[in-house]
Amino acid sequence: MVNPSRRPHPHFDDRGTLDWHTHWSEALAAARAAGKLVFVEFGREQCGNCRALVQGVVPHAQVAPILEQHFIALASDCDDPEDGVSDLALNLPDAMMLPFAMFADSQGRFLGGSEGAQSASGFKALLESVIARANEPT
C-alpha cells in the first residue's frame, strides 16, 4: 500500500515502501534523529539494475520491513554525486556495475555495500550483515 506522506524515489516506483531523501546531509540528519542507518542507492535513471533494485527488491516482503525498521533511504545520482556519497563509494574500489548499494551509520561511517543486480534473499542477507556490523562495539 502506498504511503502518501513518503517522498518517492526520483526515478523509480518502489510502491511507497520508503521515504527517499536526495541529499546526503539530510539523510544523515534523519538517520541521527530516528536512530537508524543510511541505505544509499547510488545509480542512474537509465540503469536497469537500479530499476530492478528499487522496484523489485526494495518492496519485496523479505526486504521492505528490514529497510523500514532500520534504514533511512538516499537516492544518489552517480552522474552528479555529493562528496559524502563519493567518499562512501571509495570503500568499494573494485565495484564496476550499478547500482552501488552502500550503507553507513548516522555519522557517515561506511558499514558495507554491494554492486550490480541483487536478489531479494541476497539483499536481505546483506542488510542483516550491515545491521550486525553497526551493532558491533567500535
The arithmetic mean of pLDDT across residues 25-29, rounded, is 98
67 belongs to a structural domain: yes
Is the C-alpha dihedral spanning 32, 29, 40, 7 positive or negative?
A: positive
80 belongs to a structural domain: yes
Residue 3 has pLDDT above 80, yes or no: no
pLDDT digits (tens, 9 = 90+) for 48-60: 999 999 999 999 9
- Taking the C-alpha atoms of residue 9 and residue 118, their distance in angstroms, rounded to an integer, is 18
- Give the domain range for residue 38: 34-134
CATH number, residue 44: 3.40.30.10
Contact between 108 and 90 (Cβ < 8 Å)? no
